Amino acid sequence: MLVCANCNKHSHKIAYSRHKKGSSGHGGEWNLKAPIHKKTQRPNLHTFKSKKYCTQCLRIVKKDFMIAMSKPATSVAVAV
């Protein structure tokens, strides 16, 4: 499914026009007849650790992952 695992961003439909209204070169009744089309806009998803993340969340998740990997796994307490 096309959903971000972190922020639940998903695909949605948008209405768009291929050109501005009235730019077809004709006057009169055609100056407001620009065709409106429906288009599906999908998020830019990437797979990381077998989960799908959008680009913004991927930066956050990778940053947190790299910070966790750089810390030592065991901390030794020094006796004074």
Domain assignment present for 3:
no
User: Can you give the pLDDT at residue 37?
Assistant: 85
Domain assignment present for 52:
yes
Pairwise CA distance, residues 34 & 22, whole Å: 7
Domain assignment present for 28:
yes
Domain assignment present for 4:
no
Could you tell me if 57 and 44 are in contact, meaning their C-beta atoms sit under 8 angstroms apart? no
pLDDT truncated to tens, each residue of the chain (80 aa)? Answer: 789 999 999 999 998 877 666 545 555 555 566 778 899 999 999 999 999 999 999 999 999 999 998 887 665 666 66
User: Can you give the pLDDT at residue 60?
Assistant: 94
Number of domains forming the structure of the chain: 1
User: Can you give the pLDDT at residue 16?
Assistant: 83
Which residues constitute the domain of residue 40? 12-70
User: Can you give the pLDDT at residue 56?
Assistant: 94
Domain assignment present for 2:
no
Query: What angle is formed at CA 30 by the lines to CA 27 and CA 36, rounded to 5 degrees?
Result: 140
